[in-house]
């Protein structure tokens, strides 16, 4: 390392030692699989928690509209006797 007017510059050797990863043990394949499964299941649970209430609300609105339309059609399907005259 050397400094010029307050700035610190790293030599190529020291930069390599800073960015070089320390020697690590290899990852356990079982641990990787278990971690991946846990992450994916968490994503699925969050999506279900978000989608189920929205789906129930949409089905409720659809059912309400269908029931209203069914009652309106029955009223229009049976015209009064005065309408025939």
So where are the chain's domains? 47-79
Whether pLDDT at 21 is above 90: no
CA–CA gap between residue 60 and residue 45 (Å, rounded): 23
Helix (H, G, I), strand (E, B) or coil at 79: coil
State the pLDDT at residue 43.
Answer: 96
Tally of CA atoms within 13 A in the half-sphere of 52 that contains its CB: 6
In 25-57, which positions are buried (b, 16+ CB within 10 angstroms) versus exposed (e)?
eeeeeeeeeeeeeeeeeeeeeeeeeeeeeeeee
State the pLDDT at residue 45.
Answer: 95
At 33, is the pLDDT very low, low, confident or very high (cuts 50, 70, 90)? very high
pTM of the entire predicted model? 0.43
In the numeric block, the tokens 């209430």 are attached to 53
Per-residue pLDDT tens digits for 61-84: 999 999 998 888 665 556 666 656
State the pLDDT at residue 46.
Answer: 94
């Amino acid at each position: 390392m050397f400094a010029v007017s307050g700035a610190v510059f790293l030599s190529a050797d020291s930069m390599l030692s800073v960015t070089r990863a320390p020697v690590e043990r290899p990852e356990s394949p079982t641990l990787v699989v278990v971690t991946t499964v846990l992450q994916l299941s968490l994503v699925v649970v969050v999506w279900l928690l978000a989608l189920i209430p929205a789906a129930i609300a949409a089905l409720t609105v659809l059912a309400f509209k269908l029931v209203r339309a069914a009652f309106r059609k029955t009223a229009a399907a049976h015209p009064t006797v005065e309408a025939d005259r």
